[in-house]
Structure 1
Amino acid sequence: MGTEGENVRVIAGRYRLDARIGRGGMGVVWRATDQLLGRQVAVKELAFDTSLSDEEARLQRERTLREARAVAQLSHPNIIVVHDVVVDDERPYIVMELIGGGSLADRISADGPVDAREAARIGIDLLGALGRAHGAGVLHRDLKPANVLLEADSDRVVLTDFGIAQVAGATTLTESGSFVGSPEYTAPERMSGVRTGPESDLWSLGALLCTVLSGESPFRRDSLGGILHAVVVDDIRPPAQAEPILPVVRGLLERDPDRRLDAAEAARLLREFLDTGRTPRVPTGAGYTPTQRDVPRAQALHADAPPRQEPEATPTAATAAQAARHSRRGVLIAAALVAAMAGAGVSAAALLMHKGVDGGGPGPTSSRPRTSVSTGPSRPASSSAGRPSSTPTPAPTVTVTRSSVTAGAHKAPSGYGLAQDANGFSLAVPEGFTRVPQGERIFYMSPGQIFRIGIRTADPAVGGPLAVMRHADTKGPSTNPGYRDGRVTETTHGDHPAALWEFTWNGFSTAEGPRHTYDLCWEEGGRMYDVWVSAPVGKVREAKEYFDVAVDTFAVS
């Protein structure tokens, strides 16, 4: 609500500041009158740090004006129109169109979260705005619900406040350790000061989508130190309300900016959801293939070879350089946390005691995946998903073909091979995975056993898949060290009753580290089938794709 009559004055001989309508860390926003053109406008009076020297203040003012003029060149229906940039009494002002309506934050506060369709609509409009800005070399750097306006008459989504009061290229953490910006919506690489690019704005959009769907940022904590720890280190748990567009949210909240979902693909997936009403699938063929850098181009899988542990790959110059980059990033993230905790009066050592900071940080741990044929793992309690037994049995012959080979209606996507198993089933597995039979269970493992796809067949059990999975969940702490966050969901696989089990655990050794498991169990043709995927918590995005492909292409011979 504006304050009429307070400090009414005219700036630049033209703009009369009529009422204050907003205040924030960047300054004050006024409803004003352009007396030359006779129209209502919004004027942002930018605040500056009074502790700066005259020369520092001059440089900051010049950089701010330069960036404001760059934003003024942008033309997009979802970007605020900047009419003018003026200086009055050595203070810069940004003159913008006046939007009749509140912010997205106001809407959430007054009416609560929005549904998935509205969130997708908002997301598409913001992606269009960001795409236009990024194409012109302009970064937003402070994308959050408070900086998104909703026009009252048209429900137009308008992105405002393009980090105008921040110095271009500045890091998020100042030299004193205090925080500049909105930490709940700031990407990990900006926290560390490693880089700031278009990908950082896309991370912020992912956090914003979680907020509009649930009413709260997934990184909200009670302190600055807690927020920084949540962004950089903690498992990322999108809210349950994000399930209809979960692939988009997970893709945007990918900690590694090089693997983050790009704007064009995110917009395509959201449009697919609006058009079909179904959860979009990240394609595994040509186009956006986020997992391909982690899937070695395969040698064919030969099941008649004796089961063996895959040797570690010899590091190449490229992988060595990548490891060096990750190492530097880990050091910088740790340093950023220490600086931020010191500024907030929080012990970084205490917060990091149970989590290592590595190159990518632990990736997003999924919230419940969609309960459909393509999601859902589960396994009988007698099995331990992802852990091969110590005594392998002789391997039956398995032929894995290239992705062009089909089995009935099933086809292996690009980058996968179709495994025809002598045990009476087939499924698509990533090229380069090795088949390792372990008694009644069959494993397909990536080099080093980082990713493990497991399959088990058995006679039907009393109570069906749901009872089996609930029993497995109950036994989880005894079968999987550090078992936590177990969830069992009743679902279907095709027309067959099924149950989905998902959980996180500590792995079978310290070296292996925390893992996440997806597990689907169902009955079909008088048999019970169980398919699961186990992977490090930092690689659940790839694991989810492998799991979806395995379940979707699974066929009984």
Structure 2
Amino acid sequence: MHSGSPTSGVGRVIAGRYLLLNRLGSGGMGHVWLAHDQRLACEVALKEIVFRDLDPAGEEREARVARARAEARYAAGLRGHPHVVTVHDVLEHEGLPWIVMEYVAGATDLRDLVERRGPLAPAECARIGLAVLDALNSGHETGVMHRDVKPANILLAPDRTGAPYGRVLLTDYGISVRPDAGETRYTLASVLVGTSGYLAPERATGGPPTPAADLFSLGCTLYYAVEGHGPFDRESTLAEVTAVVMEEPRPPVRAGALGPVLRSLLEKDPGRRPSASRAEAALSEIVTPRAEPYARTRTDLGSQPPWAGVASAPPPPTAPAPDGFGPVAAPPSAPRHRREVPRVLRAVLAASLGLLLALGGVWYAMARQGGGGGTGRALPYGSAVGLVRPLKDGDCVLADWPGPDRFTGTPRLTLDPSCGAQAPDGQVMAFSAAASADEARKEGSARCEERTQEIRERLADVRSLAVVPTGAGFGLAGRRTACLVLGAHGPVYGPLGAHRRLGSSFTDTANMQRRDCLRAPSERDAGLVSCSGPHDQQVLGFTRLGRDVTLTEARTRSDAACAKDVPPRDYGFDPSVYTSGSWTSQGAWKSGTHFVVCTVRKQNGGTMEGDES
């Protein structure tokens, strides 16, 4: 592990009313700030227009300002919609417009969520898709096309019940347009309007914006959510645009029941894409599967969380989904000629079957006496997981996945009592009690997501995993699901959250978390200390370096990257006193994530005191 060696808006008051607190993010048109409305004593989000060139030409400047006003006007037309970020006002400050918007507390965008946690389950993607589709429909009914539907423009936030990511909001109407209103389209010559990998092919070739084009972009977005990458991801913008126009999307591998919907939304010909109502019906079917007559209801395995086991029996034929979406019903089997089995062969088969049943009875009796592995009882989480005792709070585990990809299939778990000597993959951080094994199976994964949300948001690269008890092991497991936090792409190397002891040293940056206070006796050693006392650095957040950056190069570049992406001034630290620090480690380079931990420290190398954090 190694410590690496424009003017902030924090503290400015905009239009005599809005005090800028910190920067929430940046987009194509500028920055979004968290601000305090001094008149109403509440928090809002302010969108600031930033020109990439210092002094754009007059016409271009006017076009950018007009685009901002148009964004506010279009979004304000959807004011009060449950799935659109509310726009409160548009104002001018020092000659430039600022858009005053609803501040969505605890929100993360879909792109960041998938980058941190990995692909989502198909049913969860369908739920998100329904909300975005509802927002788009409301705009389409008034003639407004969004034109930039993509993961970064979809916010997920806790809903009123506290469920994480329960609220879905579409934002950034910055390039919206009413095609039939005769308005100027605020674009620059030779610049595509939209995001290359999510642009409909007819838009990429100069066609007009239509509802069908927005639905294509929604298809690309849901593909990203369920697969972890876009359907037309390429090495350059030009290659992505070419792929959108000329190539078919990569076949999805995780989509399950969502696959047929994605294929329909990603049709090159807009006339062959489903209408909004057909798309809504198909997505609703995935979120709440309908029962089929004369057949046992069967959830598509692709719509279950990664933890769910796969049945060995082949699936029964399924009825077609509404409006032509798959899967297609299996055709009836062709008639076969029955062949009479000779009487002697029947006798031999009967004798063999009897022998097998007898041997099976002997094996079962011995197994009941010896109990798998000598335990004499059921395994709490089943034979695939392999643990002979229920998990306890703080247990560190090693996860052996059945295939090359993490979070695919059911991992075999073993305990790491040292919680560090074997580079553990994760740790038990919470539990979810249930009234029955069936309730644990149905609700365990979502509840674990909720119970581990806070710790996951403090770490750079982790995911939640629900270890659900089997029916036979439900009582033995304490009638509860164990909620693990595992490294998304590699080990966590040590204990997490409150299970870490003050004074302990970090062996890797993977279990450093936001707001940690560190002692740093050297550039290679860091330990966890209380923030109420003297400390050398404090963790503010994380950034990532490019795939081509080596670990050796990272140690000289990481400070500058943190100063750019996680500037201490955005967290209230005086830039004349404090500066950026950083930590890198081998773990992030072994996993290929290239995460860097960004900290704040004093410029003179002095100790920070408790009241500064």
Which structure: larger Rg?
2
| Larger strand proportion of the pair | 1
